[in-house]
């Protein structure tokens, strides 16, 4: 009888000890599947960028090689990009001007608009916000012809404002939406406490609310800058002067040694030059970006 009880107890212990092992195995396989999925996404997203870098480092004669690494390494494509014939350096400066001015203007207008929608009580707030968002839903190609006609009448063709103002039609709704959502999560008590201590409403906004909204403002600035930096359709349609064109347009107008030769190597090198600053900026400020996108959910 004692032996039977001992055997039953032993079998029970074995079953109990087997359960944690199975649970650990499930957790292990689940972790492996997550890592595998992340690796596939990583490869899928970065494979084109990797191939662009590799192709930019090949010689013109080796541009169609299928090797994973260029052999030999060559910087001739980068030298051709900046040899003066393409005006690519000026194009980079133009992109910086357009993206910078667009970002600053969108932030200034977006911050005040978001503050009014999130803090002040007036009728049709939801309707106004919906209209602002709806204006960003029109694809750029659908407004090119009307804008081209309008800017031609104004004499704005081949000017910076012909690129900046259309960019604001997307940047301002993005800024208003992000900042309104963020500011709605900030407590009213902080502003009230500041005004009780003697601050005016403007001082409470500038010294209390705006610093708290810095993660959202920073995130909005980065997203707006990236969109304006990469914009192509409007810049291509409004600018035909090489001295004013942006980097994305300049890349599309690269020409080869002959009429039928496509300068793939130079285009790849220019693409790397345009993309790398954005990648570095996102990597450096990724913590700020995540904070800005998730801060509202954590309050």
Q: Tell me: the pLDDT tens digits for 243-273?
A: 999 999 999 888 766 666 778 889 999 999 9
Give the CATH number of the domain where residue 102 resides: 1.10.3720.10
The count of C-alpha atoms lying within 13 angstroms of the C-alpha of 140, restricted to the half-sphere facing its C-beta, is 19
Give the number of residues written for the chain: 299
Q: What is the pLDDT of residue 20?
A: 65
Give the span between the Cα atoms of 234 and 143, in whole angstroms.
Answer: 9
Above 60 in pLDDT, residue 7? no
Quote the domain boundaries for residue 180: 87-253
| 267 assigned to some structural domain | no
Q: Is residue 18 part of a domain?
A: no
Q: What is the pLDDT of residue 122?
A: 80
Give a yes or no: residue 299 inside a domain.
no
**Residue 197: pLDDT band by 50, 70, 90 thresholds?**
confident
pLDDT at 286 over 80: no
Q: Is residue 200 in a domain?
A: yes
Report yes or no on 75 lying in a domain: no
Q: Per the structure, how many domains does the chain have?
A: 1
Mean pLDDT of 40-56: 89
What is the value of pTM for the model shown? 0.81
Out of 24-38, 83-97, 135-149, the most confident range is: 83-97
Identify whether 41 is part of a domain.
Answer: no
Task: Examine residue 101 and state whether it is found in any structural domain, yes or no.
Answer: yes
Reading the block at residue 291, the tokens are 């904070």
> Residue 273 falls within a domain, yes or no?
no
Kindly list the distances between the CA atom of residue 93 and the CA atoms of 77, 139, 160, 228, in Å, as whole numbers in the listed order.
20, 26, 12, 13
């Amino acid at each position: 009888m004692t032996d039977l009880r001992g055997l039953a107890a032993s079998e029970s212990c074995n079953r109990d000890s087997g359960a944690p092992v199975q649970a650990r195995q499930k957790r292990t396989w689940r972790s492996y599947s997550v890592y595998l999925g992340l690796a596939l996404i990583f490869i899928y997203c970065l494979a084109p960028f990797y191939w662009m870098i590799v192709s930019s480092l090949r010689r013109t004669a080796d541009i169609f090689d299928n090797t994973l690494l260029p052999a030999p390494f060559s910087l001739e494509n980068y030298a051709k990009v900046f040899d003066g014939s393409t005006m690519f350096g000026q194009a980079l400066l133009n992109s910086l001007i357009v993206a910078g001015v667009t970002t600053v203007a969108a932030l200034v207008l977006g911050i005040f608009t978001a503050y009014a929608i999130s803090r002040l009580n007036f009728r049709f707030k939801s309707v106004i916000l919906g209209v602002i968002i709806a204006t960003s839903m029109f694809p750029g190609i659908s407004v090119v012809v009307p804008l081209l006609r309008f800017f031609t009448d104004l004499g704005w063709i081949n000017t910076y404002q012909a690129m900046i103002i259309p960019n604001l039609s997307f940047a301002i709704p993005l800024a208003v939406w992000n900042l309104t959502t963020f500011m709605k999560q900030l407590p009213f008590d902080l502003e009230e406490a500041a005004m009780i201590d003697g601050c005016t409403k403007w001082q409470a906004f500038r010294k209390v609310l705006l610093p708290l909204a810095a993660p959202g403002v920073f995130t909005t600035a980065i997203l707006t800058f990236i969109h304006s930096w990469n914009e192509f359709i409007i810049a291509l349609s409004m600018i035909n002067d090489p001295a004013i064109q942006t980097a994305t347009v300049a890349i599309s107008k690269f020409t080869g040694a002959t009429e039928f030769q496509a300068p793939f190597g130079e285009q790849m090198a220019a693409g790397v030059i345009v993309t790398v600053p954005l990648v570095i900026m996102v990597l450096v400020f990724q913590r700020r970006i995540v904070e800005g996108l998730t801060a509202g959910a954590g309050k």
